[in-house]
Amino acid sequence: MKKYNFHNAKDGYLKNCQISNRNDLEEVLDLGFQPLGDSLLTKEELNEPETFYPLKLMRSKSLGHSQLSYIVPGNLVYHMEYPYKCGVTAEVVKHHSEQSKKNIGELNLKKNSLIVDVGSNDGTLLNEYKKLGMKVVGVEPTNIAKYANAKGIKTIQAPFNLKIAKKIIKENGKAKLLTATNVFAHMSSLGDVIQAIYETLDKDGYFIFENHYMVDILKYNQYDTIYHEHIRNYSLKSLIYLFNLYSLKVVDCEVLERYNGSIKVIVSKNKKIKTHKRVFRTLNKEIKFGLTKKKVWDKFRLNTKKSKENLIKLLYKLKDNNKTVVGNSCPCRSSVLLNYCGIGKDLIPYIAEQPSSPKLGLYLPGQHIPIVNNKILVKDQPDYILLLAWHYTKPIIKYLKNMGVKSKFIVPLPKVRIIR
């Protein structure tokens, strides 16, 4: 297999497109210098210096995808105390359960087929496959791997690369399915990862991954998905171009409602597999949307600035009228939104999180807003709650109302609105 060194980006500034190596990048949006969104602070760290990194979005003029202008070293982004656990969120567990059943059925996987999940986190997805009779192995670089191993999901704590692929094959054989949920955009060593995927898969194996979809990021003004973990945001056109270089074939895709717009892509090692018509339909939709046209990206930049202005204006108006506003949920995207908008403790005194969240007792980087148990919402009954995980607006509102919360809700994106 031919190796493309430019797919393995070095830390620091990128001059060319990481997928094509073309010098056709154009700046779209500058969100300023920001802290790492998932590097939450302890109380003792609040008076210590913080490191901020450039957060600037660039677009590929030819392939219609985006990438960051600057790559932060992976060991800093995915530090050992990385706080995200996917099993905490009921919607995530439900999605993994549905997708595991669907994938087994559509790919006609037999029992005891090996499934490898890259960026497997606490093993939530693999647990669903295990319950369905599959043999499973996870690969997770952070300490979250210990939660998976504790519940019997075999997980290798390491970044996924060719060395780990060979270890998996030696101990378990080749995989019929390799999955990666919202992590394929995170890897700076893209070429090494794809080579490891190819090596791990059986001759008729599949690679299935989900990621935020470039069309929907632009359409729904999701500037808060632009953070240091998300080195790239893909178009389908860019993915077909990329996998073709490594003798892999995109054979199917599906645009999902998850995260207000994600794309699920199915890649086959067997290039004789027929391409589903959904692939061609999606490519045509990208052309119709205008992913390679400058005016579409200019509109996104203007919408982002307008959204910021409207949210700040609303919060100060409520403050002037002696209304209380607090935040709810602390995904990584909340750090981007609050730091970009300059929203601090003077406007939002705390962010409420679920009782099982590992983020409780910590503080948002940059703005130093405390993260507290959401039971406080029932006691305080704030006038308004800013939904920072706005992509789960309906289930969150239902959950909080069932708790006894009587507040109104502010949804910051795609446009600022109030739900009474």
Regarding whether 144 and 256 lie in a shared domain, the answer is yes
Regarding whether 337 and 269 lie in a shared domain, the answer is no
Query: In the prediction, which pLDDT does 395 show?
Result: 94
If you average pLDDT over residues 232-246, what whole number do you get?
Answer: 98
The DSSP letter of residue 158 is S
Residue 209 pLDDT greater than 80, yes or no:
yes
Residue 247 pLDDT greater than 90, yes or no:
yes
Q: How much of the chain, in percent, has pLDDT values that exceed 90?
A: 93
Regarding whether 240 and 271 lie in a shared domain, the answer is yes
Residue 108 pLDDT greater than 90, yes or no:
yes
pLDDT in tens, 293-322: 999 999 999 999 999 999 999 999 999 999
Q: What is the CATH number of the domain that holds 377?
A: 3.40.50.720
Regarding whether 287 and 333 lie in a shared domain, the answer is no
Domain of residue 368, residue span? 312-419
Sheet strands (E) in 278-354: 325-328, 351-353
Regarding whether 319 and 271 lie in a shared domain, the answer is no
Q: How many domains does the chain have?
A: 2
Boundary of a domain, candidates 243, 258, 292? 292
Query: In the prediction, which pLDDT does 79 show?
Result: 79
Mean pLDDT value across the chain: 96
Query: In the prediction, which pLDDT does 203 show?
Result: 96
Residue 87's pLDDT band (cuts 50, 70, 90): confident
How far, in Å, are 170, 351, 368, 382, 384 from residue 376 at the CA level? 51, 10, 19, 10, 14
Assess if residue 56 is contained within a domain. Answer: no
Q: How far apart are CA 329 and CA 327, in angstroms?
A: 7
Q: Which residue has the tokens 């808060």?
A: 224
Write the DSSP assignment of 9-50 as a string of letters: PPSEE--S-TTT--S-EEEEEEEEEE--TT--B-GGGGGS--
Residue 80 pLDDT greater than 90, yes or no:
no
Assess if residue 12 is contained within a domain. Answer: no
Residue 285 pLDDT greater than 90, yes or no:
yes
Boundary of a domain, candidates 259, 292, 325? 292
Assess if residue 299 is contained within a domain. Answer: no
Sheet strands (E) in 89-200: 114-118, 135-139, 155-156, 175-181
If you average pLDDT over residues 283-288, what whole number do you get?
Answer: 98
Q: What is the CATH number of the domain that holds 246?
A: 3.40.50.150
Measured at the alpha carbon of residue 57, what is the angle toward residues 410 and 40, in degrees to the nearest 5?
Answer: 55
Query: In the prediction, which pLDDT does 66 show?
Result: 98
Report whether 118 contacts 178 (CB < 8 A): yes
Q: How far apart are CA 387 and CA 355, in angstroms?
A: 17
Assess if residue 53 is contained within a domain. Answer: no
Query: In the prediction, which pLDDT does 84 show?
Result: 77
Regarding whether 217 and 126 lie in a shared domain, the answer is yes
Regarding whether 386 and 270 lie in a shared domain, the answer is no
pLDDT in tens, 146-188: 999 999 999 999 999 999 999 999 999 999 999 999 999 999 9
Assess if residue 399 is contained within a domain. Answer: yes
Residue 344 pLDDT greater than 90, yes or no:
yes
pLDDT in tens, 18-30: 999 999 999 999 9
Regarding whether 319 and 282 lie in a shared domain, the answer is no
Query: In the prediction, which pLDDT does 90 show?
Result: 84
Boundary of a domain, candidates 231, 263, 292? 292
Regarding whether 415 and 272 lie in a shared domain, the answer is no
Assess if residue 391 is contained within a domain. Answer: yes
Q: Residue 328 in 3-state DSSP?
A: strand
Residue 258 pLDDT greater than 90, yes or no:
no
Residue 1 pLDDT greater than 80, yes or no:
no
Q: How far apart are CA 309 and CA 211, in angstroms?
A: 28
pLDDT in tens, 380-398: 999 999 999 999 999 999 9
Residue 199's pLDDT band (cuts 50, 70, 90): very high
If you average pLDDT over residues 123-149, what whole number do you get?
Answer: 96
pTM metric for this prediction: 0.94
